[in-house]
A and B are shown apart, each in its own frame.
Chain A
Amino acid sequence: MSELSPFLLYFVAALLVAFTRGLPRQVILLATPVVTGLHLWLNIELGTTVTHAVMSYELITLRVDKLSLLFGYLFCIASFIAGIFSLHVKDTKQHVAGVMYAGSALGAVFAGDLITLFIFWELLAISSVFLIWARGTERALKAGMRYLVFQVLSGVLLLAGALVYFHDSGSLAFDHIGLEAGVAGWLIFIAFGIKSAFPFLHSWLTDGYPEATVTGTVFLSAFTTKVAVYALARGFAGEEILVYIGVTMACFPIFYAVIENDLRKVLAYSLINQVGFMVTGIGIGTALALNGAIAHAFSDVIFKGLLFMTMGAVLYRAGNINGSDLGGLYKSMPKTTVLCIIGALSISAFPLFSGFVSKSMVMTALMHEDYGYLWLFMLFASAGVFHHAGIKIPYFAFFAHDSGIRTEEAPRNMLIAMTIAAVLCIFIGTQPQYLYALLPWEVKYWPYDVTHVLAQLQLLFFSALAFVWLNKKGLYPPELPSVNLDMEWFYRKLMPVGAQQTVAFLRRAKMSALSVVTAPMQGVQTEFAKSSVAKYYLSESWPTGSMVFWISAILAAFLVLDAFG
């Protein structure tokens, strides 16, 4: 039993979900993560590896250490919560995709070699895109296609990198790779980078996630980027370039988040910002920083899931998720409001909430390694998170001006799922020792001391004060129905428009080239027609028919001469 790979339980469950309806299906949806979680907890031991020989390669489908096990627990919790949240959904496609997707994430984190990782990497891509397509709109269909192109590209790069790596080192083992592995290292690094939404490679996330279904986005937010964070922590810990990439990721999306109108897209930008903290931690590479990155991935899946759930509930009830059209929903959805505020406090790293105990590890590690200016940037990003995710999301959805929308509280299953996530946020925030005990590296760290709490409270309260002040002064940018140009502009506008322009240009070039050739010919003809020779019969232009007739006559004459000659 201890050698059973957890993803198998999910894949079998996906099959069962496809053929059941109603209560049995709901039982399977909820039992799968629970059974898998218990299996990980009770049966699977650290150090277990399961290998299969396929042709001449050794594929490792199960490699258990503290790092993979922590992500295993996390993905079971995430799929359990998302499962409850989507229990009311009747669409079979979405349920199968959700279970397959979570199973693929488990497969990827327990994969011990690059080929197995690649297989689950692609399964993640293919299963998740159905959560976008299931929305059923034209927009979702197109956004899903663009999302899939990025995801598959990431897979192709991973496979190419794996093959080069095998060629160079003779090994397919997925351990520390590092950029010193040359071309192979870079190929794999960029493959991981696409899935972790590195700057310039991030637009699949902000483009795709807001188009997914109400429940689909909750699944999406949990798995893809966190598998990538896991992969970076395993393969590229301590690569200094990641520190700079991570700081950029933490900083640039918050500007977009401030002016974005679609509140689920605000959360998508804030997801990149949070992954930035993890990537920075991985780049620093000390035990404290790596633990911080992993711990932050753990808390992020839960609080970001909670925030996406509350916004999903709003979209489900109000039928709209644009900040410009919402407001005053605390009157009809008071419970969702409270749960959203708990998520907002957690992502903002308020003391006693989960973000505080994990993000502070990365910040402290930056300080220990003396990254002074980068630390200031990250502090800026921390204040910015509170601004856009902590205040803007709850404020524009539930408070602000009363939009007049009166609706019902979120359905019961959604409330239960959100409550579980909220309780976990507070539990991790107040009892961090349990999360710390699961972390892969041995570090003594405790987030609650006077300095830390006071500094963080000052930072957050004065960020809030800035919001209040800007609002009172009327300086705060209003929510406007709009889109903001981002990286996707290059392939959604520049390339199509560029292609059209090129075709139009070539057509014009062809016309002018033709006229260059035909105009002199016509000129010669008109000149010839004016000349005195033109009046003779033979100089006229003949119809093709008469030409064919005369050629036939000549050929016939030749035939006759030949017959008698």
Chain B
Amino acid sequence: MSDEKEKIYLFDRPENIERLLKGFYLICILLVLADFVIHRHIGFGWEEMPAFYALYGFAACVVLVVIAKKMRNVVMRKEDYYDE
């Protein structure tokens, strides 16, 4: 089982990851542009903001991760914490 023999897999090639990400960024851009073309029904006032959902989704996840990281300072313990 030496490394040389092993097959090269899809994401072992950095250019494949690049391609995937480029496609992904393109979709993100198109989705925001779509907001200016397509008229969404509005339920709440704040939905009127262009790309509201995109901004909210991005901000929500950043906030989530930042708070969760901070939480580690308080709640994280060693794996065998309860076994002691």
Q: Which residues of A pack against B, CB within 8 Å?
A: 254-256, 258-259, 330-331, 367, 372, 375-376, 379-380, 383-384, 387, 399, 406, 449-451, 454-470, 475-477, 480-486, 492-493
Q: A330-B11, A458-B31, A493-B82 are in contact. Are A258 and B57 (CB under 8 A)?
A: no
Whole-angstrom distance from the CB of B62 to the nearest CB of chain A?
5
Q: Which of B39-74 contact A (CB under 8 A)?
A: 40-41, 43-44, 46-47, 51, 53-69, 71-72, 74
Q: Are B41 and A458 in contact (CB under 8 A)?
A: no
Please determine whether A330 and B79 come into contact, CB atoms closer than 8 angstroms: no
A493: which B residues are within 8 A, CB to CB? 81-82
Given contacts A255-B64, A454-B31, 19 further A-B contacts (CB under 8 A): A255-B67, A367-B43, A380-B56, A383-B56, A387-B64, A406-B1, A455-B40, A455-B47, A455-B53, A460-B57, A461-B28, A462-B31, A465-B28, A468-B21, A470-B65, A480-B76, A483-B78, A483-B81, A492-B82
Q: Is the CB of A477 within 8 A of B38?
A: no
- In the complex, residue of chain A having the shortest beta-carbon distance to the beta carbon of B40: A451
Identify which of residues 3-61 in chain B touch chain A, using a CB-to-CB cut-off of 8 Å.
9-11, 21, 24-25, 27-28, 31-32, 34-35, 38, 40-41, 43-44, 46-47, 51, 53-61
In the complex the two chains form, is B57's CB within 8 Å of A466's CB? yes
29 of the cross-chain contacts (CB-CB < 8 Å) are A258-B64, A258-B65, A259-B68, A259-B71, A259-B76, A367-B43, A375-B44, A380-B60, A384-B60, A451-B41, A454-B34, A454-B40, A457-B31, A460-B57, A462-B56, A463-B58, A464-B24, A465-B25, A466-B65, A468-B21, A469-B62, A470-B61, A481-B79, A483-B76, A483-B77, A483-B79, A483-B81, A484-B71, A493-B82
Q: A375-B44, A454-B34, A454-B40 are in contact. Are A466 and B58 (CB under 8 A)?
A: yes
Whether A482 contacts B40 by the Cβ 8 Å rule is no
Q: A259-B69, A470-B65, A482-B78 are known contacts. Are A379 and B56 too (CB-CB below 8 A)?
A: yes
B-chain residues with CB within 8 Å of residue A259 when the two chains form the complex? 68-69, 71-72, 75-76
User: Is A461 within 8 A of B57, CB to CB?
Assistant: yes
Do A462 and B55 touch across chains, with their CB atoms under 8 A apart?
yes
B69 near A477 with CB under 8 A, answer yes
Known interface pairs A367-B43, A454-B31, A455-B40. Does A475 touch B77 (Cβ–Cβ under 8 Å)? no
Query: Contacts of A399 on B, CB cut-off 8 Å?
Result: 11
Q: Are B9 and A331 in contact (CB under 8 A)?
A: yes
Instruction: Please determine whether B62 and A466 come into contact, CB atoms closer than 8 angstroms.
Output: yes
Q: How far is the CA of A331 from the CA of B69 in the complex (A)?
A: 30
**Contact A466 B61, beta carbon cutoff 8 Å:** yes
CB distance from B9 to the nearest CB of A (A): 5
Residues from chain B with Cβ under 8 Å of A454 in the complex: 31, 34-35, 38, 40, 53
Judged by DSSP, the binding face of A is helix
Q: Do residues B28 and A467 form an inter-chain contact, with CB atoms below 8 A?
A: no
B79–A482 CB distance below 8 A:
yes
- Residues from chain A with a CB closer than 8 A to the CB of B63 are 380
**What's the least CB distance linking A146 to chain B, in Å?**
11
Interfacial chain A residues near B27, Cβ < 8 Å: 461
Bound form: Cα–Cα A465–B82 in Å: 37
Which residues of chain B come closer than 8 Å to A255, judged between CB atoms?
A: 64, 67-68, 71
What residues on A are CB-neighbors of B10 within 8 Å? 330
- Please give, as numbers and ranges, the residues of chain B lying within 8 Å of A481 by CB-CB distance: 79
Nearest residue, chain A, Cβ from B59? A466
Are A330 and B9 also in contact (CB < 8 A) when A461-B28, A465-B28 are? yes
- The residues of B that contact A458 with a CB separation of less than 8 Å are 31-32, 35, 51, 53-54, 57
A462 touches B54 (CB 8 A): yes
The 9 tightest CB contacts between A and B, nearest first, are A466-B61, A458-B53, A462-B57, A258-B68, A459-B57, A383-B60, A458-B54, A462-B58, A485-B75
Asked if A486 and B75 make an inter-chain contact with CB atoms under 8 angstroms apart, the answer reads yes
Q: How far does the Cβ of B51 sit from chain A's closest Cβ, in whole Å? A: 7
Among B53, B74, B79, find the residue whose CB has the most chain A CB atoms closer than 10 A. Answer: B53
Q: When the two chains form the complex, which single residue of B62, B64, B67, B75 contacts A484, counting CB atoms closer than 8 Å?
A: B75
B47, B55, B58, B76: which contacts A482 (Cβ < 8 A)?
A: B76
Measured CB to CB, the closest approach of chain B to A349, in angstroms, equals 12
- Which A residues are in CB contact (< 8 Å) with B74? 485
Residue of A nearest to B67 (CB): A255
On whether the beta carbons of A383 and B71 are closer than 8 Å, the reply is no
Q: What is the CA–CA distance of A254 and B71 in the complex, to the nearest angstrom?
A: 12
Q: Separation in Å of the A286 CB from the closest CB of chain B?
A: 15
In this complex, the member of A449, A459, A467, A482 whose beta carbon has the largest number of chain B beta carbons within 10 angstroms is A459
